[in-house]
Amino acid sequence: MKLKAIIVEDEETSREILKNYLKKYCPNVEVLGEAANVEEALVLIRNQALDLVFLDVEMPYGNAFDLLDRVGDINFETVFVTAYNHYAIDALNAHASYYLMKPVSIDELIKAVDYVTEVKTKENALQDQVLVPKTNGINGKITIPQQDGFEVLNTADILYCKADDNYTEIFLENNRKKLVSKTLKYFEDALIDSSFVRVHKSYLVNINEVTKYVKGKGGSVVLSNGKEIMVSASKKSNLLSYFK
């Protein structure tokens, strides 16, 4: 699919290099405009229906995070392009789909564009459709350790799991909750054959309890109990693949 994009970068040479790379190696990306600072970028974003923004971190009169805060809710994916690797965690927290280091690697650029293409294709395919999990029903059980032994839970009763340092909070039907001295990764592995998917570094959700997917800044899912959980950009494609 075609991706409508803009490049936000204060260095003209860097903009030209990225634009030429995209034209040669990522022909499905249509660059609609360029911006050298936050104010110019805001004008482009507010006047274009965009799929993708290539975003430098350091710019005059503000940075990438200032820009995203001012934009608010967004429907485009973000690929950060920067010479500074210490922004990686901040970029992930800002729901970046990909993080490219300067000088930009052509292979990494292609991977970034391929990932965004995959996400947007899946989002468009599911637009205005009822979300139907590919795997319905969970006929399993899981044990959780307790001081005096263990408790057996029906996996179908689990709505979602939330990381709490080296503990995991398990949220069940009827507003029940369990705190277990195991990491979220432990439960991700334990439930690998069930309909559970990691949507965020802190959340593991039961696909059969997802009632709505919300596009926007990173995206989110709404569960059957009304709980809305943010979806990391890096987890979005995997989540959407669970629906038909």
Mind listing the pLDDT tens digit for each residue in 58-72?
A: 887 778 888 888 887
Query: Taking Cα atoms as reference points, which of 216, 217, 220 lies closest to residue 240?
Result: 220
Instruction: Give this prediction's pTM.
Output: 0.71
Q: If you classify domain 141-240 with CATH, what class do you get?
A: mainly beta
- Determine how β-strand 98-101 pairs with β-strand 177-180: unpaired
Listed by start position, the domains of the chain span: 3-126, 141-240
Is a pLDDT exceeding 70 seen at residue 9?
Answer: yes
Is a pLDDT exceeding 70 seen at residue 118?
Answer: yes
- Long-range (24+ apart) CB contacts under 8 A made by 111-119 are 112/79, 113/3, 113/22, 113/26, 113/28, 113/29, 113/52, 115/237, 116/3, 116/51, 116/52, 116/77, 116/79, 117/1, 117/3, 117/28, 118/237, 119/77, 119/233, 119/236, 119/237, 119/240
H and E: helices and strands count for the chain: 7, 17
CATH architecture under which domain 3-126 falls = 3-Layer(aba) Sandwich (3.40)
Is a pLDDT exceeding 90 seen at residue 3?
Answer: yes
Is a pLDDT exceeding 80 seen at residue 157?
Answer: yes
